[in-house]
Amino acid sequence: MASHFRQESEEAPLVVERLFRENRGEVEGLAAFLRRRPPALVLTVARGSSDHAALFAKYLLEARLLWPTLSFAPSVLTLYRARPRLPHPALLLAFSQSGESPDVVEAVRAFREAGVLTVALVNREDSPLAQAAEVLLPLHAGEEKAVAASKSFLAMLAAFLQLLAHLLEEGRLREALPLLPEALFRALGVEGSLEYLEDAEGLFALGRGFAYPLALEAALKLKEVAALHAEGLSLAEFLHGPQALLEEGFPVLALVQKDEAFEGALSALEGLKAKGAHLLVLSAEPDALALAHSPLKVPLALPPELNPLLLAQAFYPLAEALARARGQDPDRPRHLSKVTRTR
């Protein structure tokens, strides 16, 4: 029987299609407001997988809209009882599947009270987070039973991208958006396997730029479903220290896409290969796949803002197969429950 994790990841294309349709009116209204009154600073608040979605949003907001974006650590508020003084107007984006994390909810309440426009991208529409935020962008992912998020994670990225597309002057991203559901469906037909990792003790998952948050997400998924100590790092940070761990055959999973980070990523990967790393490369690009010991071929590519979603979608079935090969139940990570409450 297919795992919930597998089934739910395969629902993602339909979820994204529904989300684009259902949220369109709300997103157009929010985008029109924000274009008239652009924020001086954007804050993100999130935990776990959702924080990887928030980091993805940060890269795109800064690179494409030039809106500075700050990842807010809830402990500043919940433990140290400090609410930083923000420039006006400010925008807060909170990302969550369950909408139950007390520290995320508390941060949204506090900043809303301080006059910050608060937007929640959340799957559970009846959750405390959905109620705390001024604007709600529901993820429309339906119930997610697997502890390891898949469809809700992709829905977060998609919900954010729909907003971004309506915030950008140029229509390039707005025109590309409708291609996403079909492309996600095709990405499930990824070629290759993670069998090299069946007995691995550790791994680094690397990405640069827009693909970096997805490397963090792939690493977390490998921890959760396959009990593999995978650490996600930016390719640049990896070169600044952690590569000291490389020895002959040490596995490195690289997420590579064709954008401004592409050429640099290729030459960095050549360097890691020369140092003995076993390269697993998840990409649609022949030049990147040609470097791999284990190529993981994504069937197609989209523009760089949308493409990271294809990398995640292609990765889920690979992670599920690896989990089973390692004797793990992908639906039952040890010690975890669907909702984690931290303050």
Binding site for a second copy (CB under 8 A): 40-41, 43, 47-49, 51, 58-59, 62-64, 66-71, 73-76, 79-87, 103, 148, 201-202, 208-209, 212, 220, 223-224, 227-229, 231, 234, 236-237, 239-247, 260-261, 264, 275, 333-336, 340, 342-343
For the CB of residue 82, give the shortest distance to a second copy in the complex, in Å.
Answer: 4
State the burial class of residue 2 (Cβ atoms within 10 Å of its Cβ: 0-12, 13-18, 19+).
exposed
For the CB of residue 88, give the shortest distance to a second copy in the complex, in Å.
Answer: 9
Q: CA-to-CA distance for 174 and 161, rounded, in angstroms?
A: 9
The one-letter code for the residue type at 211 is A
For the CB of residue 221, give the shortest distance to a second copy in the complex, in Å.
Answer: 9
For the CB of residue 24, give the shortest distance to a second copy in the complex, in Å.
Answer: 27
Nearest residue (CB) to a second copy, 1 versus 274: 274
For the CB of residue 61, give the shortest distance to a second copy in the complex, in Å.
Answer: 8
Nearest residue (CB) to a second copy, 1 versus 244: 244
Tokens of 177: 């958006």
Q: What dihedral angle (degrees, nearest 10) is formed by the CA atoms of 61, 184, 140, 153?
A: -60
> Are 328 and 227 a contacting pair, CB within 8 Å?
yes
CA 42 to mean position of chain CA atoms: 18
Any alpha helices (H) in the chain, and if so which ranges? 4-10, 12-36, 49-60, 74-78, 102-113, 128-132, 151-167, 172-176, 180-187, 212-226, 235-239, 262-274, 286-289, 307-325
For the CB of residue 75, give the shortest distance to a second copy in the complex, in Å.
Answer: 5
For the CB of residue 328, give the shortest distance to a second copy in the complex, in Å.
Answer: 9
Tokens of 185: 């469906």
Nearest residue (CB) to a second copy, 124 versus 297: 124
For the CB of residue 289, give the shortest distance to a second copy in the complex, in Å.
Answer: 21
> Are 133 and 118 a contacting pair, CB within 8 Å?
yes
> Are 210 and 56 a contacting pair, CB within 8 Å?
yes
> Are 313 and 187 a contacting pair, CB within 8 Å?
yes
CA atoms within 13 A on the CB side of 291: 27
